[in-house]
Amino acid sequence: AQSVTQLGSHVSVSEGALVLLRCNYSSSVPPYLFWYVQYPNQGLQLLLKYTSAATLVKGINGFEAEFKKSETSFHLTKPSAHMSDAAEYFCAVTARGGATNKLIFGTGTLLAVQP
Amino acid sequence: DVKVTQSSRYLVKRTGEKVFLECVQDMDHENMFWYRQDPGLGLRLIYFSYDVKMKEKGDIPEGYSVSREKKERFSLILESASTNQTSMYLCASRAGSPPGEQFFGPGTRLTVL
């Protein structure tokens, strides 16, 4: 069974600083991995996804994530935080193949950006 | 522009009431999902549907049922609302199989008194 663990339920960075949000997954076979963002009072929006085409995945708003099989990680990074990045971020995993495969979400990391 | 809409943003109900949460998508997606979001627990899947009149239980189906009579509409039903069902409810839809993107509605914050 798949699962994801997000280390740190709250992360605070200064504007302009590096953003690093951690996600580790558990899966018996290479999965699909996703990062979603939820801005206040909104639904979730896809930031990026890993499908095996490339281990470094670029997403919207300057975010990227690197799939590291040896570390079973898919950490999200952004070189320079902006105030508008303040939101909750969710890592998610699903197995390959099968329309009924479920998306399993982590517990989320709330990112605060200080001026 | 793709869109998933939910019938209410905020809802207050009393214990024992029957509650209907409606979700509509305009993207002709086969798959639709209902999640519950609670602080510290992330999103948990309640039910999903991969076709009209088809449904499958998710991880926390107890106390909930669903209905999908038309492709674009997926309803979540709380037969007898309880205070522990106070939560944020999110609907999503997806075309085809993973790794297709799930598109989310804005959520319904339900309070059961």
The answer for residues whose C-beta is within 8 angstroms of residue B41's C-beta and 6 or more apart is: A107
What residues form DSSP beta bridges with B93?
B32, B103
List the single residue in A42, A45, A107 with the smallest CB-CB distance to B41: A107
CB contact under 8 A, B90 and A94: no
Q: How confident is the model at residue A98 (pLDDT cuts 50, 70, 90)?
A: low
Of A42, A49, A106, the CB nearest to B99: A49
More confident: A30 or A51: A51
Model confidence band, residue A53 (pLDDT cutoffs 50, 70, 90): confident
Residues 60-89 of B with CB under 8 A from A: none
Question: DSSP of A2-42, one letter per residue?
Answer: -EEEEE-SEEEEETTS-EEEEEEEE-SS--EEEEEEE-TTS
Nearest to A10 by CA among B39, B35, B107: B39
Predicted confidence at residue A100, as pLDDT, reads 66
Mean local confidence (pLDDT), B92-105: 88
State the pLDDT at residue A16. Answer: 97
**Cα three-residue angle B105-B108-B113, rounded to 5 degrees:** 170
User: What stretch of H or E contains A87?
Assistant: strand A87-94
Q: Which of A9, A43, A100 sits opposite B104 (nearest CB)?
A: A43
Would you call A52 an interface residue with chain B, using a CB distance cutoff of 8 Å? no
CB-based burial label for B22 (10 Å; 0-12, 13-18, 19+): middle
Bond before B99 cis per omega within 30 degrees: yes
Q: pLDDT at position A99, please?
A: 60
> Which of B2, B7, B33, B37 should be substituted to probe chain A, the one whose Cβ sees the most A Cβ atoms within 10 Å?
B37
Chain B residues with CB-CB distance to A94 below 8 A = 98-99
Q: Please give the pLDDT value at position B45.
A: 94
B65 falls in which pLDDT band (50, 70, 90)? very high
Residue A86 has pLDDT above 80, yes or no: yes
A106 touches chain B (CB under 8 A): yes
Q: What is the pLDDT of residue A59?
A: 94
pLDDT of residue B98: 76
Question: Is B98 at the interface with chain A, CB within 8 A?
Answer: yes
Separation of alpha carbons B6 and B84, rounded Å: 21
Report the residue of B2, B51, B59, B102 to disrupt the A interface, i.e. the one with the largest count of A CBs within 10 Å: B102
Q: What is the pLDDT of residue B82?
A: 97
Q: Which of B8, B25, B97, B109 to mutate to test the interface with A (most CBs of A within 10 A)?
A: B97
- Once rounded to an integer, what is the mean pLDDT over residues B57-82? 96
What are B3-62's pLDDT values in tens digits?
A: 999 999 999 999 999 999 999 999 999 999 999 999 989 999 999 999 998 999 999 999
